[in-house]
């Protein structure tokens, strides 16, 4: 009898405990809710999403504040149920329920509004592709909260919304540019963080398995972002010609936005963006607004981006000493290692134009350190090494031995960045025709396999190969 009383008392305490928590408004509700919670969790983990709907719905309605997992699991459960629905009325009700779960999650578990609303906007666009204006408004709300919450797939869908509105003449060219800038800035923010994280993990030789997985995830997302922005740029290039941009960036609009940092940044990015031309790539920096916007932004906020814009402007005007100062400033402030690497490459190109080849080499090596996954610094070194063949050395062997150093750098560029292989191999092949032949090497006591240090500013140790 005593044992039965103890068991009853134990159950009473457990039920009372549940009733006092978020499991329901009564002891009965709490017991049902607890059971259904475990049931839908088990079905979800077994990927039986549609079957998990009924117990999930009970929990969602009876004890909506108990656990955030109710809302985390909701999209897959409701998506599965929506796919099963054959009755249009029932399907519409399920879609509306799905969208309401995001609002309820924000109400009961605040703090992730941008992330939650991003998923809601994407779901809305998926199920209501004919209502682009409403989807656009929902996405724009997320951009205002935190652009980093919009993962590459969401950004792709957002730009599809922008394109639809543009084609339907509900957005003009300025709206199209704004949509593009929304995407590019979100990707830039995300990429900055990912590049910093990747650089730190790559330098660490003792990373954990979890960190390795984190590295791969960030690399994959970074790759998706880069492909997304490249595809978007390719698609809108015919729509955003330099001529059309003058309708958006001109004296009238500049007068309104002289102190608008965001507008100035966006205008500089759009005008300096590379686009296909008759003689390779070109940009729109000839637009007078580029000079005005760059100067205004640097005075307003001399950030890395502003300094970079002034540096590009100085290069265009042949003011290399000024451009060096601006890129040094950009490097000092920049946190994204990939952007910093590109700035170092600009300094390398400036130094090469000024004939400061040792400085050009130093800048290339700094660029390679900032971004170990780029082969561009080595390809540029191969080019300037090859150009130095006549000036480095005092005899035929020493001068032509420079080509071995150039070939070595070209090969290194290809090994670091495989998509540069075609350029690197073409360069190495042309240099290979000019290396010292066996007879000349023999005259200076060098044979196959010997090591030799190329002198002057190059200072590279190479192996004699015929």
> 3-state DSSP: the chain helix, strand, coil percent, rounded to 5?
75, 5, 25
Query: 176: exposed, middle or buried (C-beta count within 10 Å: 0-12, 13-18, 19+)?
Result: buried
Q: Which residues of the chain have pLDDT under 50?
A: 1-20
* Phi and psi torsions of 170, nearest 5°: -100, -10
Tell me the two tokens of residue 243. 């001529």
Residues 6+ apart with CB under 8 A from 134: 124, 128
Closest CA to 297 of 328, 259, 269, 326: 259
**How far apart, in whole angstroms, are the C-alpha atoms of residue 349 and residue 341?**
13
Task: Identify the pLDDT of residue 21.
Answer: 56
Helix locations, 237-319, DSSP H: 242-245, 251-257, 261-272, 288-300, 304-316
Residue 376: closest CA among 344, 334, 332: 344
CB 147 within 8 A of CB 138: no
Closest CA to 187 of 227, 238, 136: 227
Distance from CA of residue 159 to its chain's centroid?
Answer: 16
- Domain map of the chain by residue range? 1-110, 135-240, 375-466
Q: With CA atoms as reference, report the closest residue to 179 among 113, 117, 239, 91.
A: 239
Q: What is the pLDDT of residue 277?
A: 56
CB 182 within 8 A of CB 174: no
> Taking Cα atoms as reference points, which of 77, 47, 45, 85 lies closest to residue 59?
77
CB 49 within 8 A of CB 76: yes
Query: Residue 455: CB partners within 8 Å, gap ≥ 6?
Result: 392, 393, 398
Q: Which of 360, 344, 254 is nearest to 297 (CA)?
A: 254
User: 364-368: which pairs have CB atoms within 8 A and are 24 or more residues apart?
Assistant: 367/341, 367/342, 368/341
Predicted confidence at residue 280, as pLDDT, reads 55
* Angle, alpha carbons 245-238-290 (nearest 5°): 25
- Quote the pTM value: 0.67
Cα gap 17→9, rounded to integer Å: 12
d(CA 24, CA 39): 17
């Amino acid at each position: 009898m005593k044992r039965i009383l103890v068991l009853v008392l134990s159950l009473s305490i457990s039920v009372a405990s549940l009733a006092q928590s978020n499991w329901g408004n009564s002891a009965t509700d709490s017991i049902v809710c607890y059971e259904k919670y475990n049931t839908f969790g088990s079905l979800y983990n077994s990927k039986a999403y549609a079957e998990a709907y009924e117990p999930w719905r009970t929990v969602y309605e009876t004890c909506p504040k108990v656990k955030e997992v109710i809302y985390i699991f909701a999209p897959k459960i409701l998506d599965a149920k929506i796919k099963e629905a054959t009755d249009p009325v029932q399907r519409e009700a399920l879609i509306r329920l799905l969208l309401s779960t995001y609002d309820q999650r924000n109400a009961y578990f605040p703090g992730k509004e941008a992330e939650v609303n991003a998923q809601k906007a994407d779901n809305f666009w998926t199920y209501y592709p004919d209502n682009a204006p409403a989807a656009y408004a929902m996405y724009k709300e997320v951009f205002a909260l935190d652009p980093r919450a919009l993962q590459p797939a969401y950004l792709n869908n957002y730009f599809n919304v922008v394109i639809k509105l543009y084609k339907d003449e509900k957005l003009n060219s300025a709206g199209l540019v704004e949509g593009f800038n929304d995407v590019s800035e979100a990707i830039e923010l995300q990429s900055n963080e990912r590049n910093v994280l990747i650089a730190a993990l790559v330098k660490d030789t003792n990373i954990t398995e979890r960190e390795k997985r984190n590295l791969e995830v960030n690399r994959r997302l970074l790759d998706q972002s880069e492909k997304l922005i490249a595809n978007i740029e390719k698609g809108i290039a015919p729509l955003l010609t330099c001529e059309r941009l003058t309708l958006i960036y001109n004296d009238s609009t500049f007068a309104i936005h002289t102190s608008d940092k965001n507008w100035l940044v966006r205008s500089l990015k759009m005008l300096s963006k590379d686009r296909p031309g008759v003689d390779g790539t070109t940009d729109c920096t000839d637009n007078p607004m580029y000079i005005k916007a760059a100067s205004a932004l640097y005075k307003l906020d001399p950030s890395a981006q502003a300094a970079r814009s002034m540096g590009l402007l100085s290069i265009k005007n042949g003011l290399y000493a000024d451009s060096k100062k601006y890129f040094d400033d950009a490097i000092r402030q920049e946190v994204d290692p990939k952007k910093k690497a590109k700035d170092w490459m600009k300094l390398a190109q400036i130094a090469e134009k000024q004939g400061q080849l040792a400085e050009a080499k130093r800048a290339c090596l700094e660029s390679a350190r900032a971004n170990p996954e780029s082969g561009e610094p080595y390809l540029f070194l191969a080019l300037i090494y090859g150009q130095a063949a006549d000036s480095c050395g005092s005899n035929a062997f020493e001068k032509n031995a420079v080509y071995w150093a150039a070939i070595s750098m070209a090969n290194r560029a290809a090994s670091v960045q495989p998509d540069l292989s075609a350029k690197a191999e073409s360069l190495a092949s042309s240099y290979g025709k000019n290396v010292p032949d066996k007879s000349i090497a023999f005259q200076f006591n060098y044979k196959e396999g010997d090591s030799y240090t190329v002198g002057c500013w190059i200072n590279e140790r190479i192996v004699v190969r015929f």
